[in-house]
Structure 1
Amino acid sequence: MPPGLTHFFSNSLMLVTLAVPFLLFPLAAWVVLRCTSGKMRMALFAIVNLIFALGVCISRGTYGVRLHDVKEYFIFSTAMFVVYVALVAVQYLLLEKKLGSWLPLFFPILILILVKYVPRQWTQGFVPAPFSNKVFADFFLGLSYMAFRLTYMVHEIRNGIVPLPSFAEYLSFAFFVPTLSIGPINPYSAFHKSLEAPDRTLTPIGRSWARILIGLTKYIFLGNLANQLTYDGLLADGLPHLWIDFPIAVAGYCAYLYLNFSGFCDIAIGVSGLLGIHVHENFDRPFSKRNLQEFWAHWHITLTDYMRDMVFVPLSKSLVRRFGPASTPHCIALAIAIVFVLMGIWHGAGWNFVIYGLWHAVGVVVVHYYTLFLKKRLGKARYAKYRENRAIYHIANAITLAYFALGLIFVTNSMHGLKIIFGAFRPM
């Protein structure tokens, strides 16, 4: 077959495999939820989610795969997906049988660490040749989000917020297609309540369609425009650049990340809303916040909430008990630092992600101590006036955005990539 025709069919197959799961899933899931009931309803809903989750996993690597490799990719990806489902099922068995107090909670995190951070060379002989350029963790779609969803579900069950789900509902929640790949990290309590007592005031049809349209506009159109001004789009062209291009790339990548990430979340929330399933918001005007503490309460909200409930609260309480109430401000600062280092590591393997975590740990801890200083120095009334001052707000907001945007350089670039970027600049 001529190379041009091969490329055409490869791209066509990519478009079909990407579109089918997202276009047909809402219809298939709606039919199951609307036309069936009882145990059959939940079992069929689980099957629908598993089928389309497999379709999404297969579609991820179709682009660029030669036609004679498609069959091998399909077989290997299907096998890996079966392993994925089996691992998730083991966590349910641990939870159902109550095998130890900590094992059901930490099992998903352990799998995440083993799969995501295993040295790449260890899997080179296992991964078939057509996929040797892929990281082993790529075959476990959304594994980081999966691990956090499942551990938080254990937390909710143990605190009596929700009952233990049936195995079918558990699989439906774990592999719920709209939130499978990049979140939001929707809690099981919201998912369970939506199935048991759907509330259309939370998921109106018109607003759900609007969210999908807004998300598509951000993700496909605006995100691609912003991508032209990112580090890769602007600086990685092999040509020398003036230093003025650096702040442009910093702002460009920040805009691209927001449009891409929040756009996908809008689509996920909208598709879920069409089915009557309420998914928590992940962004709430983060760029309008005055400091990093407020920023992180409104950026990637579900991750922040998870780290607060699962790490920060128990860790800070434990530290205060250990060192005494007088040390509370310092215990909180230490807990904040640990949380953000863990969040950096969660984003990926490599020293650049550790630095990213430390970057925000320092920033939020400084805000923590500065706030304590102002409250003590100004008193309640003067501190309230300080907060109301618009000039101070705009200065603080600009500093916050600049600090956040600059820190993103460690997320998008490896240490080697940073050397390439800074090597591209020449004196003005």
Structure 2
Amino acid sequence: MPHGLSHFLSSSLLLVTLAVPFLLFPLAAWIVLRLPVGRMRMAAFAVVNLVFALAVCISRGTYGVRLHDVKQYFVFSTAMFAAYVVLVALQYLLLEKKLGSWLPLFFPLLMLAMVKYMPAHWTQGFVPAPFSNKVFGDFLLGLSYMAFRLTYMVHEIRNEIVPLPSFSEYLSFAFFVPTLSIGPINPYSSFHNSLHKPDRTLTPVGRSWARILIGLTKYIFLGNLANQLSYDGLLADGLPHHWIDFPIAVAGYCAYLYLNFSGFCDIAIGVSGLLGIHVQENFDRPFSKRNLQEFWAHWHMTLTNYMRDMVFVPLSKSLVRRFGPASAPHCIALAIAIVFILMGIWHGAGWNFVLYGLWHAVGVATVHYYTLFLKKRLGKARYAKYRENRVIYHIANAVTLAYFALGLILVANSMRGLHMILGSFRPM
């Protein structure tokens, strides 16, 4: 079977395994949210989210498992999900009891680091053999997003942006099904306001249905077409290739990642909108931006906003206080580098992800220094004209897209896979 068709069928079947819980969830949640405002409604909403979150995990996990292993996987994954809930509940206890100033903030990140970077051999003998790595892979999906959502919630509560939620509302937010697996990293303030101060102008029903349709089109059809021209679809066939295939694969994977990721976010935003819950945008025409700073302000926006508020702002301020205002440009560059290295590590374990973070640390820091140089050299008026020049804009935009797309080779492939791909090209 051709690889592209195989990938299309695989992702379509995976979507089908998720479809039942994902389609029934909006109906169940809509019914619950029609109940009178009060503890009963929020408790019922929490139960709906927990039940369907478990259903999504099980339906996703049992996909591809041999039939006689399904029962074993069902039992074990249910136990894993229960442990998941206990850890999330523990974080609420730390927050409610105010046990330490930093512990509630860092507890989700500590759990994420422990699970995400746990050596594979540690799970041997604990996880049933037929799916030892699969179980943890299934539950890792969404753990990063949940950890960031919960830590950002602590940040918002401490800054008195929102009040401490009830336990039911906390569980509803933590396990909110549409954003559970792949984000966006929606802040608690947006979730809270949607429940307590609903504003239908933010979530029109017609637009929500349109977002779902657009997302499905991106995720199922366009994304799979682009994947046929990516590294896996074009180069991973064991055959020699001409070098012209390399830029095609670079562009193909970039298109695939955008269509796949933004498509799923469209679905999540649309389903949430049907319930009247506003979820923040994750993409805003990133491929039209002129440099990496602007690009990252419009690509995976909720992650960028999180890293800005939780890492960059406090770190850069601390460095400026330590080294003085005269060193501010270098302090900002150092903070940029640390943020993007952390973002690289967040994307996955392995040196390829560290290098991916370094790649963007160098790129964004270079833009930072180049902007300072231009402003100083040109002055305010000439710099404004420079920004308005359309030829310069298109050149800058092309360089930005090429730099970003090339960096994705480190995300799409392990170091071993990258070596194999580069070794498949024949001399011209």
Q: Deviations over 1:326-347 (max 9, x none)?
A: 0000000000000000000000
TM-score (normalised: structure 1): 0.96
Pairs within 5 Å for 1:41-60:
41-60=41-60
What letter corresponds to residue 257 of structure 2 in structure 1? L
Q: What corresponds to 2:387 in structure 1?
A: 387
Q: Deviations over 1:352-405 (max 9, x none)?
A: 000000000000000000000000000000000000000000000000000000
Say whether the 8 Å CA contact 1:104–1:154 is kept in structure 2: yes
What letter corresponds to residue 248 of structure 1 in structure 2? I
- How far residue 413 of structure 1 moved from its aligned partner, in angstroms, is 0.6
Q: What corresponds to 2:116 in structure 1?
A: 116
TM-score (normalised: structure 2): 0.96
What letter corresponds to residue 357 of structure 2 in structure 1? G
Say whether the 8 Å CA contact 2:333–2:368 is kept in structure 1: yes
Tell me how far apart the structure 1 counterparts of residues 158 and 37 of structure 2 sit (CA, whole Å): 28
Q: What corresponds to 1:7 in structure 2?
A: none
Say whether the 8 Å CA contact 1:288–1:397 is kept in structure 2: yes
- How far residue 35 of structure 1 moved from its aligned partner, in angstroms, is 2.9
SS in 1 for 2:172: helix
Structure-2 change in CA distance of 1:378 and 1:235 (3 Å) = same
Tell me how far apart the structure 2 counterparts of residues 74 and 308 of structure 1 sit (CA, whole Å): 39
Moved beyond 3 Å, runs of 4+: 10-17
Q: What corresponds to 1:174 in structure 2?
A: 174
- How far residue 138 of structure 1 moved from its aligned partner, in angstroms, is 2.9
Structure-2 change in CA distance of 1:72 and 1:240 (3 Å) = same
Q: What corresponds to 1:348 in structure 2?
A: 348
Pairs within 5 Å for 1:41-190:
41-134=41-134, 136-190=136-190
Pairs within 5 Å for 1:128-277:
128-134=128-134, 136-277=136-277
What letter corresponds to residue 109 of structure 2 in structure 1? I
Residue identity (%): 88
Q: What corresponds to 2:338 in structure 1?
A: 338
Q: Deviations over 1:12-39 (max 9, x none)?
A: 9966642111110000000000134310
Q: Deviations over 1:135-194 (max 9, x none)?
A: 625324400000000000000000000000000000000000000001000000000000
- Unaligned residue ranges in structure 1 (runs of 5+): 1-9
Tell me how far apart the structure 1 counterparts of residues 63 and 292 of structure 2 sit (CA, whole Å): 38
SS in 2 for 1:35: coil
What letter corresponds to residue 363 of structure 1 in structure 2? G
Tell me how far apart the structure 2 counterparts of residues 279 and 359 of structure 1 sit (CA, whole Å): 30
Q: Deviations over 1:232-287 (max 9, x none)?
A: 00000011000000000000000000000000000000000000000000000000
What letter corresponds to residue 160 of structure 1 in structure 2? E
Tell me how far apart the structure 2 counterparts of residues 411 and 267 of structure 1 sit (CA, whole Å): 24
Structure-2 change in CA distance of 1:15 and 1:414 (3 Å) = closer
SS in 2 for 1:61: helix
Q: Deviations over 1:216-245 (max 9, x none)?
A: 000000000000001000000011000000
Say whether the 8 Å CA contact 2:296–2:304 is kept in structure 1: yes
SS in 2 for 1:426: coil
What letter corresponds to residue 291 of structure 2 in structure 1? N
What letter corresponds to residue 247 of structure 1 in structure 2? P
Say whether the 8 Å CA contact 1:344–1:355 is kept in structure 2: yes
Say whether the 8 Å CA contact 1:13–1:62 is kept in structure 2: no
Q: Deviations over 1:312-331 (max 9, x none)?
A: 00000000000000000000
Aligned residues: 419
Say whether the 8 Å CA contact 1:292–1:363 is kept in structure 2: yes
- Unaligned residue ranges in structure 2 (runs of 5+): 1-9
Say whether the 8 Å CA contact 2:120–2:133 is kept in structure 1: no
Structure-2 change in CA distance of 1:11 and 1:359 (3 Å) = closer
Structure-2 change in CA distance of 1:36 and 1:72 (3 Å) = farther
Alignment RMSD, CA only?
1.4
Structure-2 change in CA distance of 1:84 and 1:410 (3 Å) = same
What letter corresponds to residue 381 of structure 1 in structure 2? A
SS in 2 for 1:101: coil
- How far residue 59 of structure 1 moved from its aligned partner, in angstroms, is 1.3
Matched, 1:370 2:374: no
Tell me how far apart the structure 1 counterparts of residues 26 and 251 of structure 2 sit (CA, whole Å): 35
